[in-house]
Amino acid sequence: MANTFSQIYLQFVFAVQHRQNLIPKEHKEELHKYITGLVQNRKAKMLAINCMPDHVHLFVGFKPTVLISDFVKEIKIESNEFINSKNWVKGKFNWQEGYGVFSYSQSHIDAVIKYVLNQEAHHQKKTFKQEYHELLEKFEIPFEERFLFDFIE
């Protein structure tokens, strides 16, 4: 769109169905590249990505011409199909329903990139459940525990 200028930075977080550890470490880089391609095909810019065994963080420079819900839905569907076509897991791989999306200002870009890229070390201190609760609380997003991801304790 001519004469449209934007500065939108979004972090997306979504989990593997039933929070199972199904993203194999040996295929992590290939999945990063694939999802980055999906993001770029939607005219967004991947700033950072990190797939953990049971969830993923994407930090994206976003365009206002795309609906957030459509963006996430398409990324999840196409990456599901990619993972299943590679037979990386026994049975069928699926992302869990729902996601978190959090917005940041330009002054936070470097810190969020470091945060996303440092997930392995971060999760040595906190579980995904603790991390997700902290994000929701930090952004003052009201939630009911029963509607969060299915957390396996």
For residue 138, the model assigns a pLDDT of 86
Residues 124, 97: Cα–Cα separation, whole Å: 25
For residue 70, the model assigns a pLDDT of 96
Q: What 3 state SS string does 16-65 have?
A: EHHHCCCCCHHHHHHHHHHHHHHHHHCCCEEEEEEECCCEEEEEEEECCC
For residue 144, the model assigns a pLDDT of 80
Residues 4, 148: Cα–Cα separation, whole Å: 35
**Domains of the chain, each with CATH number or no CATH:** 8-147 (3.30.70.1290)
pLDDT string in tens for the chain (153-residue length): 567 788 999 999 999 987 778 898 999 999 999 999 999 999 999 999 999 999 999 999 998 889 999 999 999 999 999 999 999 988 899 999 989 999 999 999 999 999 999 998 878 888 888 888 888 888 888 878 776 666 555
Residues 14, 16: Cα–Cα separation, whole Å: 7
Listed in sequence order, the residues at least 6 apart from 36 whose beta carbon sits closer than 8 Å to its beta carbon are: 46, 49
Work out the burial of residue 110: count CB atoms within 10 Å of its CB; fewer than 13 is exposed, 13-18 middle, 19 or more buried: exposed
For residue 152, the model assigns a pLDDT of 56
For residue 1, the model assigns a pLDDT of 56
Contact indicator for 63, 43 with CB cutoff of 8 Å? yes
For residue 141, the model assigns a pLDDT of 85
